[in-house]
């Protein structure tokens, strides 16, 4: 993947004018951050207060006139919109402004495309992009360029081939979508096999979930000694990483995965189903938030994550709120957080503050459900015995003619996984 232009280094190729239709306030900082991550400079912004975007133009017609003047004056060459536009809104707005228009979804898709490294990640992003482009009768080249088969220099929002090409492209796109779906099904099956192996190891699965840039990867590294990439940019991690974690004599698995954002494009939720499944099937979800954000931001980000968790049906997994970046907080804010989120754990993945508490909390979440089990493990299953040692910490074993009789205390979810060896019915 070619490195992307940094907006700071000289004059950026793409100079965006950011716009938003918001019920109140004028905060487009997240869109600007997204654009920055995509290598696009923001040269101005305009907000219109409205309950809902205008159905034809996104902003009201008068506001669009104002925008036209402002964007020209700021020497912008693209207009970036803080929502996903309908194809009609996008077409109309481009015609009115005589300038390319990109929406929030296109920017996020572009970032994902730039950050996908594994074969699985690339397939998932390509599928999401194709589905997005299909709805817009856009040429295939937008994603082909990403794959290194580009037709010249583009950038987000630049247009592809003429109308005559589009029908052919649509047909090709449909074929490609079918092929991608098939390959992703295959990936998903592989992932299920891997997961089954991990489950056969009977270890508890802990997933790190949360808003993008909250510090999930940093936390995984701090807790498990992993070396997952960390950067101050959005959607740095797209591919899940799993590491083991030893706590009070028991072994756990911890998985870091893709971050969430407000208005997460549904094409991505769809395409990333295999990846998101890691979170859905976790025994415990650590919901990581950036506690250095102001309270209303923190609440909005937390809600956005909860919504996605609901959407992928991970809403019912036990969850612990982890307030990260404690090192950036003053005493007053610490007190406020303790008051507002009494069940949360305050940590700093950077300084290590609170990590002991977090580990204790993870262990406690499983220990709450500890059950005494008696298992009879046949001598032929030595692997199962060693798994039991990992997961139970302490256990008693007696050799019998039929196998090893083991008494141990196991978290409920784990006891269930050993169910077939049970001799005490638990
Ligand atoms: N001050 C401070 N910065 C932190 C802390 N944890 C993470 N960061 C910084 O926050 C930024 C994002 O960290 P990541 O670990 O990449 O965040 P992430 O949640 O994995 O982000 P995505 O993979 O993009 O979703 C990086 O610049 C980190 O150095 C912390 O405890 N304190
Ligand atoms: Mg990450």
Q: Summarize pLDDT for 336-370 with one digit per residue, the tens.
A: 999 999 999 999 999 999 999 999 999 999 988 88
Q: Which pLDDT value is given to residue 12? A: 56
pLDDT at 313 over 60: yes
Atom of ligand 1 nearest to the CA of 256: 20
Residue 143 has pLDDT above 70, yes or no: no
Contact, 410 vs 203, CB < 8 A? no
The arrangement of strands across the sheet holding 395-400 comes to 371-377, 403-410, 395-400
| 54 token code pair | 């205008």
User: Which residue has a Cα nearest atom 26 of ligand 1?
Assistant: 232
Q: Rounded mean pLDDT of the chain?
A: 86
pLDDT at 69 over 70: yes
Ligand closest to 209 (CA) is: 1
d(C-alpha 146, C-alpha 149), whole Å: 7
Query: How many Å lie between the centroid of ligand 1 and the Cα of residue 324?
Result: 9
Condensed to tens digits (0 to 9), the pLDDT of residues 113-138 reads: 888 888 888 888 899 998 888 877 65
d(CA 271, CA 185): 11
Q: Which residue minimizes the CA distance to atom 6 of ligand 1?
A: 215
pLDDT in tens, 188-218: 788 777 777 666 567 888 999 999 999 999 9
* Strand order, beta sheet including 78-81: 41-49, 15-22, 78-81, 101-103
Distance (Å) from CA 259 to ligand 2 centroid: 7
49-53, 143-147, 381-385, 414-418: the lowest-pLDDT one: 143-147
pLDDT band of 425, cuts 50, 70, 90 = low
**Mean local confidence (pLDDT), 73-102:** 94
Ligand 1 pocket, mutate which of 108, 215, 322 (most atoms under 8 A from CB): 215
Q: Whose CA is nearest to atom 14 of ligand 1?
A: 215
Q: In this structure, which residue's CA is closest to atom 17 in ligand 1?
A: 215
Ligand 1 centroid – CA 323 distance (Å) = 12
Provide, rounded to the nearest whole percent, the portion of the chain with pLDDT above 90. Answer: 52
Measure the CA–CA gap between 306 and 291, rounded to whole angstroms.
16
Of the listed ligands, the closest to the CA of 292 is: 1
Counted residue by residue, the chain has a size of: 426
Query: Buried (b) or exposed (e) across 304-318, using 16+ Cβ within 10 A?
Result: bbbebbeebebeebe
pLDDT score, position 152: 40
pLDDT at 105: 94
Which protein residues are within 6 Å of ligand 1, measured from CB? 210, 212-218, 230-232, 234-237, 259, 324-325, 327-328, 348-350
Residues 356, 299: Cα–Cα separation, whole Å: 25
Residue nearest to atom 2 of ligand 1 (CA): 325
pLDDT for 163: 56
Reading the block at residue 290, the tokens are 């950036």
Residue nearest to atom 10 of ligand 1 (CA): 215
Among all bound ligands, the one having the nearest atom to the CA of 328 is 1
Mutational pocket test of ligand 1: of 112, 213, 358, the residue with most ligand atoms within 8 Å of the beta carbon: 213
* Beta strands per DSSP E along 164-233: 205-210
């Amino acid at each position: 993947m070619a490195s992307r232009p940094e907006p700071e280094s000289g004059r950026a190729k793409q100079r965006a004018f950011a716009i938003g239709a918001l019920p109140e306030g004028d905060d487009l900082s997240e869109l600007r951050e997204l654009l920055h991550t995509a290598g696009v400079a923001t040269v101005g912004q305009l907000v219109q207060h409205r309950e809902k975007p205008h159905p034809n133009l996104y902003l009201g017609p008068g506001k669009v006139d104002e925008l036209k003047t402002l964007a020209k004056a700021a020497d912008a060459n693209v207009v970036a919109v803080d929502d996903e536009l309908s194809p009609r809104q996008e077409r109309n707005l481009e015609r009115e402004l005589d300038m390319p228009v990109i929406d929030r979804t296109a920017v996020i898709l572009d970032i994902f495309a730039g950050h996908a490294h594994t074969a699985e990640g690339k397939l998932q992003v390509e599928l999401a992009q194709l589905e997005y482009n299909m709805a817009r009768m856009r040429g295939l080249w937008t994603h082909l360029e990403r794959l290194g088969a580009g037709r010249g220099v583009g950038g987000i929002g630049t247009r592809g081939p003429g109308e005559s090409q589009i029908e052919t492209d649509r047909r090709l796109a449909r074929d490609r979508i079918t092929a991608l779906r098939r390959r992703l099904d295959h990936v998903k099956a592989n992932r299920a096999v891997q997961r089954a192996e991990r489950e056969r190891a009977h270890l508890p699965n802990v997933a790190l979930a949360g808003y993008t840039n909250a510090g999930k990867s940093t936390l995984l590294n701090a807790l498990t000694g992993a070396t997952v990439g960390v950067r101050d940019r959005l959607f740095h991690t797209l591919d899940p990483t799993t590491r083991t974690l030893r706590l009070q004599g028991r072994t756990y698995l911890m998985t870091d995965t893709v971050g969430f954002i407000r208005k997460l494009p549904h094409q991505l939720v769809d395409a990333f189903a295999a990846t998101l499944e890691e979170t859905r099937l976790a025994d415990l979800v650590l919901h990581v938030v950036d506690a250095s954000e102001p309270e209303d931001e923190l609440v909005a980000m937390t809600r956005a994550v909860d919504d996605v968790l609901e959407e992928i049906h991970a809403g019912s997994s036990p969850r612990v709120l982890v307030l990260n970046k404690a090192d950036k907080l003053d005493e007053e804010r610490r007190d406020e957080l303790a008051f507002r989120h009494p069940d949360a754990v305050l940590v700093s993945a950077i300084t290590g503050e609170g990590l002991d508490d977090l580990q204790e909390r993870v262990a406690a979440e499983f220990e709450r459900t500890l059950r005494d089990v008696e298992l009879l493990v046949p001598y032929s299953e030595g692997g199962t015995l060693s798994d039991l040692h990992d997961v139970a910490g302490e256990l008693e074993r007696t050799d019998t003619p039929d196998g090893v009789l083991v008494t141990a205390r196991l978290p409920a979810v784990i006891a269930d996984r050993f169910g077939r060896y049970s001799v005490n019915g638990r």
